[in-house]
Structures are given as C-alpha cells and as structure tokens.
Amino acid sequence: MSAITPEEMPAATWVHRALPVFSMVGVVGYLVSMSFNWAPFVYYPVVNEIHVSEQADIGPGMFWYGWMAYAAMFAFGMALLALLLPVRAGRALSERFAWCLWAAPLMVILTIVVLMRHTLFS
Amino acid sequence: MLWIFLLLIHGLCAVALLGALTHQSVSVVYRSRPKRDLIRSFGAVRSNIYTNTIVALYIVTFALGGWIYAPYRYMSRPVLEDLGFFQAVALFDLKEHVAAVCLFLIPAYWLLWARVPLSQSKHARAALTILLAVGSWFSFVVGHVLNNFRGI
C-alpha cells in the first residue's frame, strides 16, 4: 500500500466523516452498555442458546457479545448521522478533534479499571 | 481438542499481530532516523505497509478469541473461581474490555493510516497505533498468564 499525498487525497469522502465517529461513539457506547449492563441479548454457552432476557438454571450468561452489539448499533447510527454533516464541516470537525481518537479510548479504559478496582486490586 | 486447536491459532495470530503492531509503533516513534543501531533499524521501515495486515490480523484474532471465550466462561472460569484466583479472572475480564475497545478503534486506525496523508494527523496516528499495540500486548500477556494457570 502506498502513502497518499495531500494533493491525491479526495476531498473528505464519506469515510473521513463516518469512521472517526463510529470509533469514538463505539468506544464510549461500549463503556455505557457495559456499565449499565445494557445488552439486547444474553448468550448461554452451556446450552448454546441466545435469550433476550436473563434466564435461570441454564448456566452462566454472557453479556459481552450483547454489550458490543449495542455499542456497534449506536456507533453505526451516529456514523450515519455524521454523513448528514456538510463535507467541509465534517472535515473540520475530524481535524480539530483528531486527538479524541486516542484520548477517548484511553479515558474509557481507565474508567473501566476504576469500575473494576474492587476485583482487580482486592 | 477443537478448542485447543483454536486457542493455538488464536495465539499464533496474536503473535503475528504483535510483531506487525510493534514494528509499526517503533517506526512512528523513530521515524526517519538513520539506521545506526538495532532499534532504529527496526523502526526504519515504511510503516504504512503494515496497516491492512494489522487490520485483518486484529479482526481474525478477535473473532477467534470471541469464539473460544464461550467455553472459557463455563469450563475454565468456574474452576479458577473455585481455586480462588479472582484477580486472574478479573484481569481476563479487563482483557476482554480492552480487546473490545481496540476493536472499535480499528476503523479510525485504518482511516488515519490508509486515507489520511502521512504528513497530517501525525500525533493522532502515532498515539492510536501505540494504544493499539499496548492493548494487544496487554491482552496477549493476560491470556498467556491465564493459560499458565491451566485455566484454558
């Protein structure tokens, strides 16, 4: 893959607006869905079944897949909304807030560590 | 037997991913330095050529990990909890959170390396690459430590 130059870069294509939004909202959405245990489904690996609510007596339930599904749905929706932004505004936003691409996930991971402090550092 | 095979493939993919990510991370830190010593020679590569490989390897490694996570949940985790290894279990939970967060970063990572000129967004690109590398190394070490507990 060859590097592209500024002259070769297409003027703010849809990926420039949608992908940063998808990443940032996905990361924050994962933290929210995990913190509040919001999941559209629960997977029960012992019986290999998926349920929309918690079930008793069929082994431990796994919410992790559901948390990611909710975060992905939310991120996808917000990325679609970002496509409605004018091209120039979307480009300016993605350039101005490029630092959020690494700061947001760093803060999310630190928040998760704080939320898990009782089990991690007991 | 299937789970052991999948775990092995998961581990091998992780090793390849770590190699590529570490190489790319060192190259963004030591970019355009002369090849005077081992570390600088290690970093003096065209760092963008790793991008698509890293994206593909991350997705494959994550998918395999997500698959073998299910049997871990009902076969290995209860044993670890019965043995009192609660911190190891918590570390594994943290690994899953870190892996999921890094998965959501993959689209932005690909954008910065493949669709934004290398002369722009240098700090964001470098920070995101290093974050992905640190997250992948953390996941690998925690998975390996838990495997040493004979947990999986």
**Tens of pLDDT, residue by residue, chain B (152 residues):** 888 899 999 999 999 999 999 999 988 887 655 666 766 666 667 778 899 999 999 999 999 999 999 999 998 899 889 988 899 999 999 999 999 999 999 999 999 999 888 888 888 999 999 999 999 999 999 999 888 876 55
Predicted confidence band at A89 (pLDDT cuts at 50, 70, 90)?
Answer: confident
Q: Judge whether B51 is closer than 8 Å to chain A, CB to CB.
A: yes
Its pTM stands at 0.89
Cα separation, A22 vs A101, in Å, equals 10
Contact B104 A15 (CB under 8 A): no
Whether the predicted pLDDT of A25 surpasses 90 = yes
Torsion of CA B57, A9, B23, B69, to 10 degrees: -20
pLDDT of residue A77: 96
Q: Tell me how long chain A is.
A: 122
Whether the predicted pLDDT of A95 surpasses 80 = no
Work out the mean pLDDT of chain A and round it to a whole number.
87
Q: Judge whether A107 is closer than 8 Å to chain B, CB to CB.
A: no
pLDDT above 90: percentage of residues in chain A: 61
Q: Token digits for A114?
A: 């704080």
Mean pLDDT in residue range A89-96: 75
Contact A34 B128 (CB under 8 A): no
Residues 6+ apart with CB under 8 A from A101: A20, A23, A24, B105, B108, B112, B124, B127, B128
Mean pLDDT in residue range A10-32: 86
The Cα angle at residue A5 between residues B39 and B122, in degrees rounded to 5: 45
Measured between beta carbons, which residues in chain A are less than 8 angstroms from residue B99? Answer: none
pLDDT of residue A1: 45
pLDDT of residue A11: 47
